[in-house]
A and B are shown apart, each in its own frame.
Chain A
Amino acid sequence: MASQNILGYIVIDGTEGQMRGAALASDMRGIPVDFRYTDPVRPTRLERILYGSSLDTYLKEELMLESLLDSIEVNPQIWLCNDADLLEPLKVTGKVKAVMLSESPHVPLEAKGQLETTSEPGVFILQAAEKGAPVMIEFPDGTRQDEIQQAAQILTEAEKTMDILEPFARIQKALASLSSGGN
């Protein structure tokens, strides 16, 4: 069962021939409640040939995502990612609302909590912060209107006490630090 007031963040990072991922569950202040990360996976040349173009999808969407979601010990009320490829599998595997969050170049909307549609289906501009730029939020196909409204409410509520985009950068830093051997 999903825990109220817990946000889940997923980052899967693939650079320099290796891939690794992490999941952070935080409270509404951005304070971590749980944090799990994977070992880096470095496919060999043979594996790249054999799996072909499906390799990244397999690693990201099946292997890493499922491992991370299985290992995390709290169930967030919403999963947030910054990678469009993760959105659909996150909704299916995470079994709760899933949203892709990104920065928006849009000028601030008039009111906090305001949600504006864009030309792309499933993509919205949300003015989550009272003082700050709006964010771009994208939903998986088939997300109902009431789920969109609920997600927007959760994010607006969280933005009162934290920067909802900030944990992505923190996770990246943690992964970089872990890769370089920091404990």
Chain B
Amino acid sequence: MNLRKSLARKLFRDINIHRLDEAFMTDLIPTHKVRDSGLETRRITPSVKINISKFPGLAQKREFAVRIKSVNFMTKTVTTRRFKIKRFTKQDIRVKTLQKFNMKTWSGYKKIIAMPQERSNRLKFIKTRPQVLNNEMILAWYGPIVDGAVIKLALNKQRGTLLVWYNPRSRQFNAKGVYLIRRLGLGSKPEWRWV
């Protein structure tokens, strides 16, 4: 007699087991050894599918769980590939409804409208660069940026990116790019140059 049929007959007389998954088989492998008797016992909590028509009232529910709270196997009739189960005791079978996943959505508009957009340095993609003075060096190009809608720009020095805060009420759609240019020499600050 195979394991599925044997278990079904012994444990679930009123329940049709349609599937015993791999987790169930794994659960049967003992992890605790009782030294005195040499008996190996293991508690299992398998997941099974049941015939809901046997449980009046459940048929209308979309989701429910069957939980076998605690079962000790001790029978000679059930043999797994690796060891024999000598006895089993049916202790408790519980059928309870599963709570449906609770899914709510929220508006995070205020959160995201306050967040800046981030532009990475695309200088390596610029084929024609503007002419700069001898003591100037182009560090980066950021774009596209709708300059008429910009409230604030900030350079993320760690990541080398430009953070852009826009005015959400702005009607400007004309996009530009901005070069970050460094002037060589003591005390000179980097300069933004729109193009």
List residues of A whose CB falls within 8 A of some B CB.
22, 24, 28-32, 34-39, 41, 43, 46-47, 49-50, 52, 59, 63-64, 67-68, 70-71, 108, 129, 131-133, 159-163, 166, 169-171, 173-174, 177-178, 182-183
Contacts and interface: CB of A to CB of B under 8 A. Distances in A.
Main secondary structure of the interface of A (DSSP, over half): mixed
B144 A47 contact: no
Interface in B96-115: 98, 101-109, 111-113, 115
B67 interface: yes
Interface residues of B, number: 38
A28 B107 CA distance: 21
Given A131-B141, A160-B175, A174 B108 contact: yes
Contacts, number: 117
A32 B102 contact: no
A131 B175 CA distance: 13
B181 interface: no
Interface of B: 21, 23, 47, 63, 65, 67, 98, 101-109, 111-113, 115, 117-120, 122, 125-126, 141, 143-144, 146, 149, 166, 168, 170, 173, 175, 177
A170 B149 CA distance: 19
Nearest to A131: B125
A32 B109 contact: yes
Contacts of A170: 112, 115, 117-118
Contacts of B112: 24, 32, 35, 170-171, 174
Contacts of B104: 38-39, 67
Contact of B103 (A35, A49, A67): A67
Contacts of B170: 31
B48 to A, nearest CB: 10
